Amino acid sequence: MTNSINVLHLISQASLVVQLIMAFLLILSIISWVLIFVLSGRLGQALKFDNRFDEWLWSDDLPKQFAIVQNEPHKNGLEQLFFDAYQKYQQQPSNHANSLAITERTLSSALNKQQQELEYGLPLLASIGSVAPYIGLLGTVWGIMNAFIGLSQSASVSLATVAPSIAEALIATALGLFVAIPASASFNILTAKASSIYERRSVFGERLLAQLMSLPADKSS
């Protein structure tokens, strides 16, 4: 009967460099999972809040809704976009076309700023997913190199003597994949969610500009 692989024993027998690489991969794994949970929660909350605010905003006249939003101490998502755009529109003179052009630029700037805040952490997650396999491969190459150096100094060479050293080295590659796969998969999923939120907010901005265009030229009305 063959003996089962004791991963912890193999890791403890690996060279110091390989152990450091494995420890670094473990840290990357912890960071990636923290990012995954934080980003998932952030995107989920943003989508939920946007849906509620979008439904509420169009239930009454924009001037009335703006008066309510103006008194809110904390604004985010579509609420912040609406507040920034409507406030900028009110501050402009009664030249309707010019007011809308300035408001559109303000809305675009606010939308991009919010998207940057929403996606904060995604580039790091992508980096972890892309570099983790190579870091693991580095540990494997180093471990195999040490194994062959040890074999060159050994009097007898057999599969039994080389197998443990090779197994120790290959664990680094496996650990690199263990870190990279969930990070890369989550990055793709979260990027798609963030893009969906951006598209929904862009549509909201277009609808808001259309509604502002229909308002009376006298902004005090």
Q: 74, 37, 50, 40: which is closest to 198 by C-alpha?
A: 50
Residues 6+ apart with CB under 8 A from 106: 84, 85, 88
Per residue in 122-172, pLDDT (tens digit) is: 999 999 999 999 999 998 888 787 777 766 666 555 555 566 667 777 888
Per-residue pLDDT reduced to its tens digit, 196-218:
999 999 999 999 988 888 766 55
pLDDT for position 103: 86
Least confident range of 6-15, 35-44, 93-102: 6-15
Q: Are the C-beta atoms of residues 198 and 46 closer than 8 Å to each other?
A: no
Higher local confidence (pLDDT), 60 or 40: 40
Tell me the two tokens of residue 114: 């919010």
Cβ-based neighbour number of residue 209 at 10 Å: 16
Give pLDDT, residue 216: 65
Closest CA to 104 of 217, 218, 221, 213: 213
Question: For residue 146, which phi and psi values (nearest 5 degrees)?
Answer: -65, -35
Q: For residue 199, report the phi and psi dihedrals to the nearest 5 degrees.
A: -65, -40
Q: How many CB atoms lie within 10 A of CB 110?
A: 19
Give the pLDDT of residue 78.
Answer: 93
Q: Which of 61, 116, 110 is nearest to 82 (CA)?
A: 110
Closest CA to 128 of 1, 24, 8: 24
Token digits of residue 50: 């946007």
Q: 3-state DSSP: the chain helix, strand, coil percent, rounded to 5?
A: 80, 0, 20
Q: What is the DSSP string of 52-108?
A: HHHHHHTTS-HHHHHHHHHT-S---HHHHHHHHHHHHHHHS-S-HHHHHHHHHHHHH
Contact 39, 128 (CB under 8 A): no
